[in-house]
Structure 1
């Protein structure tokens, strides 16, 4: 039995759904389940927080189990990143969700913070800059996750940069096993992969090609054609 302060996924989704961001309900539930499997004193590190949509999900689950969240985002200027105004929105959303005692913000580049980091991470969520070089560096944060710990990567099979880094460093690597995905949020486990694990990654490539193709169609304003591939709306698939 849970006490009266324990929140459900529905409670967390109600808090997060209205926050601007690129995370579906199914992806939120995957994050929730991974964070809810942690225990007291354990830690979550999130790379790329934006307005806090995913942070609220992770933070609410962490609050339930006595874990903590470190949110890493430099909040740089630019249309996609938002700058200082987005940081204010993030901080307001965390406060409204009652998570100030759970979430610690590190307003830094993940690539600059990583070499200084010397603490264990029990759950890693990567949703930072999507170019190949940044993702390649962000994958190195998994060195702080113990065997059996989860590493979740957003846009894993909908971004050229992210997927390229996965194909170059994870598929042939020896430290992460692919488990499953919710659309393009992929879940990995720290551990030695076998041939079947590697094949499961490669089996996602048709999905990735479909998503890249839809992005091309949207930029060519061929939304009607994109709909034939099951994509509705003007936002990129994620």
Structure 2
């Protein structure tokens, strides 16, 4: 089953940095993996305004599961005022920074995914202490500093169940193409002996838990 034209049209209206080819790959992989794990929990680390959440959430809905979306919604380093990826529409006058929470909730409501997506409004490290169990699908697209990326990998990837899939976004082998932390945790996953790479779509890497 593929994404409907209505879903694709809606996704195009959502703010975010997810390439359409990568987004469709997320949907396809989540649907494929979760069809073998009925009602297995899925987790997304880093949702921003919800574009990737809708891609994954549509697959999760079809498989009867839930998607836990972890994000403090204050943005990554590059999303702050004065930085390259700051969006004035998301400026938060109360903090002087940014907040994507209101737009994220509007996105999920507009996609009719409020009965599928469970938002956890907290940093990755804190959320890892309250989200329990193993996962069929894990998507890491959180903070791109080295400490943040290491937290996302070390605290969450070990909980992907055997046969489940870990997806990592913004993996750039060439330093000129992007930041290093997602690439570094991708290499850690491969070197661990617990994951094998099964698919590459642009900067998106899919690894199956052995």
Aligning the two structures, in what range does the TM-score lie when normalised by the shorter sequence? 0.7 to 0.9
CA offsets per residue over residues 67-106 of structure 1, 9 Å max, x none?
2111000012634575674100000010011111000100
Instruction: Name the residue aligned to 2:164.
Output: 149
Corresponding residue for 1:223?
none
Identify the residue that residue 215 of structure 1 maps to in structure 2: none
SS state of the match for residue 100, structure 2?
helix
Alignment of structure 1 residues 100-179 onto 2, 5 Å: 100-140=114-154, 141-157=156-172, 158-167=178-187, 169-179=188-198
TM-score scaled to structure 2, two decimals? Answer: 0.80
Bigger mean CA deviation after superposition, 153-162 or 79-88: 79-88
Q: How far has the Cα of 1:142 moved from its partner?
A: 1.6
Task: State how far apart, in whole Å, the 1-side matches of 2:41 and 2:197 are.
Answer: 21
Which residue of the partner structure matches residue 12 of structure 1?
Answer: 7
Moved more, 110-119 or 46-55: 110-119
**Residues 1:96 and 1:117: Cα distance change in structure 2 (over 3 Å):** closer
Higher relative contact order (CA 8 A, sep 6+): 2
Q: Which has the higher strand share?
A: 2
Alpha-carbon distance, 1:9 to partner: 4.7
Q: Is there any run of 5+ residues in structure 1 with no aligned partner, and where?
A: 192-238
Task: Flag the 1:144–1:9 CA change in 2: closer, same or farther, 3 A.
Answer: farther
Q: How does 1:184-223 map to 2 (within 5 A)?
A: 184-191=203-210
TM-score when normalising by structure 1: 0.71
Matches of 1:188 and 1:10 in 2, distance apart? 28
Q: Which runs of 5+ in 2 are unaligned?
A: 93-97, 173-177
Task: Give yes or no for contact 2:125–2:151 (8 Å, CA) kept in 1.
Answer: yes
Q: Is the 8 A contact 1:71 1:106 kept in 2?
A: yes
| Separation of aligned partners in 1, 2:186 and 2:168 | 10
Higher-Rg structure is 1
How far does residue 34 in structure 1 lie from its aligned partner after superposition? 1.7
Coordinate RMSD, CA, aligned: 2.0
Q: Which residue of 2 aligns with 1:51?
A: 49
Residues 142, 151 of structure 1: 8 Å contact kept: yes
Question: 1:94 matched to which residue of 2?
Answer: 108
